[in-house]
Every structure is written in structure tokens, then in C-alpha cells.
Amino acid sequence: MSIKQISLEEAEAGMQIAVDLKDSNGTVLMPTGTSLTATSIKSLTRRGVESVSIIANDAPSIDQRLENERLKKRLGKLFRKSATGKLDRQLMDSVSLYRIGKKYDE
């Protein structure tokens, strides 16, 4: 496991913060070990954060896998009555790609 400095534009949901991310006043925005989400990346962009230090490892963390499973279950509930048609499945896959970063059935 190593630490890698990347631009916020390169950041992806699921990456873990390696070093406390602080604003210009020294306030901790995200503590070490926090997993980035699409929402947190957008928030950091609005705050003017340009780069982050992430934990560079090839395998997703256990926390991220659990979060992905939670999101898959949530999507399954949201689409439980409509996931029978091809277009419904494409919509569910698109939402999954947006939220998790991979297809729903992977």
C-alpha cells in the first residue's frame, strides 16, 4: 500500500484519503481513511480543492465493498417493480455506474 497524490479530476468514488484533507484554515474536510464518493468529490470541487492524497492499492477496501453491496441492495429495492424490461435494466445499470462505478450485475 502506498500514498499517491492525484488531482481531484482524477479522483474516483471508492478511493481512500491517505492524509487528512484540510481547507486553507486547517479545518479537516475529510479524515484519513475516508472513502471518496461522487457527492464528496463534487463538494470538494466546490470548495476549491485541487488535489488529494489517496491510498493506492489495487483491491477495493472491505468498507468500499460493503458500501457497494449496500448501494446494490438499495438500487434493487428502487427498481424492484420495474427491472423487468430492457430499458429498465439499462436505467438501473446507468444509475449503478454513476453511484458505484460498475455495472449492477458485476
Q: pLDDT at position 37, please?
A: 92
CA angle 72, 74, 79 (to 5 degrees): 95
| Second CATH level (architecture) for the domain 2-56 | Alpha-Beta Complex (3.90)
The DSSP annotation for 47-90 comes to TT--EEEEEE-SSPPHHHHHHHHHHHHHHHHHTTTTTTSHHHHH
pLDDT in tens, 53-85: 998 865 556 677 788 888 888 888 888 777 577
What pTM, to 2 d.p., does this model score?
0.52
What are φ and ψ of residue 35, in 5° steps? -85, 135
What is the chain's mean pLDDT, rounded?
Answer: 82
pLDDT in tens, 1-38: 688 899 999 899 989 999 999 888 888 999 999 999 99
Confidence tier at 101 by pLDDT (50, 70, 90): low
Is residue 17 a contact partner of residue 52, using CB atoms and an 8 Å limit? yes
